[in-house]
């Protein structure tokens, strides 16, 4: 009887090792495919820039390094009212930032960089302020972030109000029935502006593919509301409830989740 139990354990371990090898192979193939897609996209973007005849001189009307070089919470609020611009295939799409979330780095249990964890995936969070951090969720959708001052700190851009290029956005997001639904979520805005992993680690101060333009008069303090961040319950009550989500009060393009307003 003991021998039978022992053989059962051995068989289970053998099956477990076999499944793990197949799993490792599966995820390795996914990462390889994703890497190839990124290389292909970057090559297409470079070809597009070359055909335009100007791939070195970035637009002048954009936020500079000094703008991005501030604390994560400050940058999350400063970005409100600014315009995110994506150039793709000779076309520019613009959206005003209306909602952000701050992820503070090593101390923040909700951040990808919690405990100063650094990997190839989140390396942009440790790069100079103003670096684009684009990551994939569920292997399908992307989210766009901007690094700030502070080790491993970055701001998630959660929602935009379309400014120009709306027709192109609608082609990319046919499911959106209203203008306010085009970019009212982090994955939605990336789809609408064609922001993908090829944009990861781009310098927003010099890039011709994606950049941020100043907000002019800015957003009045009384028009900025805050709440806990969305979908970070895994980080525990303390970090999920911290008011690190900022948005423009009463703006129709803000995502609807956690819409309870807390005056900032």
Q: Which helix (H) or strand (E) holds 76?
A: helix 72-78
Q: Within 10 A of 46 (CB to CB), how many other CB atoms are there?
A: 13
CB 204 within 8 A of CB 63: yes
For residue 89, what pLDDT is reported? 86
For residue 50, what pLDDT is reported? 36
Task: List the chain pLDDT tens, one digit each, 264 residues.
Answer: 555 566 665 666 665 566 556 545 544 454 555 544 544 444 444 444 433 333 334 556 899 999 999 999 999 999 999 999 999 888 999 999 999 999 999 999 999 999 999 999 999 999 999 999 999 988 789 999 999 999 999 999 999 999 999 999 999 999 999 999 999 999 999 999 999 999 999 999 999 999 999 987 678 989 999 999 999 999 999 999 999 999 999 999 999 765 454 444
**Torsions phi, psi for 165 (to 5 deg):** 80, 25
Handedness of CA 242, 244, 250, 255 (dihedral sign): negative
For residue 13, what pLDDT is reported? 66
Reported pTM: 0.77
* Exposure class string for 195-226: b at 16+ Cβ within 10 A, else e: bbbbbbebbbbebbbbbbbebeeebeeeebbb
Name residues whose C-beta falls within 8 Å of residue 212's C-beta, 6 or more positions apart in sequence.
Answer: 62, 63, 67, 79, 82, 83, 84, 85, 97, 146, 204
Angle at 143 between CA 140 and CA 144, to 5 degrees: 145
Residue 256, both tokens? 């609807």
Angle at 79 between CA 73 and CA 85, to 5 degrees: 145
For residue 106, what pLDDT is reported? 94
């Amino acid at each position: 009887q003991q021998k039978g139990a022992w053989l059962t354990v051995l068989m289970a371990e053998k099956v477990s090792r076999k499944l793990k090898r197949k799993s490792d192979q599966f995820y390795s193939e996914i990462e390889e495919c994703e890497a190839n897609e990124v290389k292909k996209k970057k090559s297409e973007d470079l070809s597009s820039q070359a055909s335009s005849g100007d791939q070195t001189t970035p637009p002048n009307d954009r936020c500079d390094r000094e703008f991005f070089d501030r604390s994560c919470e400050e940058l999350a609020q400063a970005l409100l009212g600014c315009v995110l611009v994506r150039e793709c295939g000779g076309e520019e799409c613009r959206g005003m930032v209306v909602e952000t979330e701050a992820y503070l780095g090593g101390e923040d249990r909700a951040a990808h960089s919690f405990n100063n964890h650094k990997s190839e995936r989140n390396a942009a969070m440790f790069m100079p302020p103003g670096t684009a951090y684009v990551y994939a969720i569920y292997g399908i959708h992307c989210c766009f972030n901007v690094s700030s001052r502070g080790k491993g700190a970055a701001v998630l851009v959660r929602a935009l109000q379309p400014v120009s290029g709306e027709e192109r956005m609608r082609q990319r997001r046919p499911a959106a029935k209203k203008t306010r639904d085009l970019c009212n979520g982090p994955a939605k805005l990336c789809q609408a502006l064609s922001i993908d992993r090829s944009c990861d680690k781009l310098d927003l101060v010099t890039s011709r593919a994606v950049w941020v333009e100043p907000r002019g008069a800015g957003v009045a303090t009384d028009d900025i509301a805050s709440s806990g961040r969305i979908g970070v319950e895994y980080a525990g009550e303390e970090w999920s409830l911290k008011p690190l989500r900022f948005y423009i009060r009463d703006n129709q393009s803000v995502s609807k989740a956690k819409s309870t307003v807390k005056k900032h």
